[in-house]
Each structure stands twice: as C-alpha cells, then as structure tokens.
Amino acid sequence: MKATRVTVKVAAFYKFVSIDEPGALQAHLREVCAACAIKGTILIAGEGINGTVSGAPDNIDALIGTITSDARFSDLEVKYSQAAEYPFQRLKVKIKKEIVTFGVPGAQPAVATGTFVEPEAWNALIADPDVLVIDTRNDYEFQVGTFEGARNPQTRAFNEFPAYVKQELAENPKRPIAMFCTGGIRCEKASAYMLQEGFPNVYQLKGGILRYLEEIAPEESLWRGECFVFDERVALEHGVRQGHHTLCSECGFPVKGQGTSAAAVCDSCRDRAPAAD
C-alpha cells in the first residue's frame, strides 16, 4: 500500500498592537503550541506579535483560532502555505524589544502607518512612473527575486533602512513611495518611520509578497524570481509553492537551481576558494 504523504501547513502572521504583559502571552502560546506539536518561531514584544509556525493543518488552524479569539488579534494578518516536511526543527516563543528589529523607538505602526494596497491593485500602482517602488528587504533577498522596477536599498539588515531613507530619499519627500516585503511587517514599520520623517505619500503591499504570490496569477504578475523565506524551504514561487533555491554551504546565502544539495556553493564563495595544487 502506498504511504499517504503528510502535508505540513505553514502560517506566517503579525500584528502591531500594544501588549501590556508579554510574559503571560508567551506562556499561554508556548503551552498551546506544545500541545499541538507546532514548530517555528513566535516573537512577542510590547509593540505586538510576529510569527511563522508549522504543523498539521488542524493544529495550525487551532493555534490561529486561539490567537484570534483574543480581541487584540481579531484581525491578525495571516498568510498560509504548505510544505512536504516541517520547515522548522523546533519551537521558539520569545520576548523581544521589537517584533522586527528596526531600532527607531518612535516608529509605531499601531499609531500611524502608510496606506495599504491590496494585491489586485498593486500592479497599477507600481507601473505608475511617478511612483518610487522600494524593496525594504535585505540585499540577498532582493537578489532571489523582486518586483519589476523595484529599487534595492542594498541593506544587510533592516535596521540599516533608516540611514538609506535619510541618504537617498530626503531630497524629494513628497514623491509617492510604494514599499513591500515578505509578509508586510517590515514595510509597515518602515511606513510608520517615513510618515514620522515627513514622507506623506507612503504605500505598502497588504499581506506582502506572500499574499501577492498567492492571489495573482503568474501571467498577470510583475514579480520576477522567487521570494526568499527564513525557513528550510529557502524560497517560494507563485502559488506559494517551494521554489528552486538552496543555501550556500559556505556562507548561507541562497543559491538558485541547486535542488536540495547540501554541497551547493554560491559564485562568490566559489571564486574565493583557493586553487587546487
């Protein structure tokens, strides 16, 4: 008899909202996740919650149901995808200063953030030549895939983004700016910061790249490449299916077209390798 292949459900979620007692929420979610054999990471801070978790479909649904039953998270932004195996090896539920590291205390999306744009309206926005399209992710993520015409800030970490804004965008603050990231959390934080810095026309892709890849057909898409994700799937393609990247065995950066080979090496590391005697 042929064995049934178990499909793992993956949920990525976040919400900027005031949390007075992060420790109490941490203990509760850790207990629920353990009971449901959930694996992944959940970050909790005074500013909100951010997580990507995996498990059996019914268990993931139960976890999300538990979270959204709390009035603070009733409109939680959740993106779903699938995996053949668990993309995480263990469970981590942590308390942090920020749910996404940015380093600017005044940037508070729960107070004010940019205008959300639904995936079906995104193409028209970024096709407008007057709109500056910015990828708020890191440089190595940009290299795996991005939207047509998007600008790469060439950051190595998200906390470098404020410096990019001050150095590259300050001369024309009124220009419409459309930003995007994997699931929406980074561009929401960036939008709050830019409003604070005097940029009045800031837009952000609602649900991030993941929702766009889920809802927009490939033949209508302005996405080019794959979307890097921070788990063992490495990258996702249209339909939020696992893509064709693995990680360089030397530096850990994504490498295209190598299947799942643990010995894959990126071009940069290959060029730096000493010549054989």
Q: Considering only CA atoms, which of 229, 215, 222 is closest in space to residue 181?
A: 229
pLDDT tens digits, one per residue of 220-230: 999 999 999 99
Segment 138-155 shows an average pLDDT of: 97
Burial label for 152, CB within 10 Å (0-12, 13-18, 19+), is middle
pTM value is 0.90
pLDDT of residue 5 exceeding 80: no
pLDDT of residue 248 exceeding 70: yes
Q: pLDDT value at position 4?
A: 43
pLDDT of residue 275 exceeding 80: no
- Which whole-number Å values give the CA distances from 38 to 14, 52, 146, in the listed order? 17, 10, 30
As a whole-number percent, the residues of the chain with pLDDT over 70 amount to 94
How far is it, in rounded angstroms, from Cα 31 to Cα 41? Answer: 14
Neighbouring CB atoms inside 10 A of 238's CB total: 17
Segment 116-121 shows an average pLDDT of: 98
Q: Average pLDDT, whole number, for the chain?
A: 93
Segment 139-158 shows an average pLDDT of: 97
pLDDT of residue 69 exceeding 70: yes
Q: Is there a shared CATH topology between the 8-95 domain and the 115-219 domain? A: no
Question: 209 falls in which pLDDT band (50, 70, 90)?
Answer: very high
CATH number assigned to the domain covering 8-95: 3.30.70.100
Question: Which two structure tokens, joined as six digits, stand for 231?
Answer: 């788990």
Of 40-44, 161-165, 241-245, least confident by mean pLDDT is 241-245
Residues marked active site are found at 181
Domain spans, the chain: 8-95, 115-219, 221-272
Burial label for 153, CB within 10 Å (0-12, 13-18, 19+), is buried
pLDDT of residue 6 exceeding 60: no
Segment 102-111 shows an average pLDDT of: 93
Q: pLDDT value at position 129?
A: 97
CATH number assigned to the domain covering 115-219: 3.40.250.10
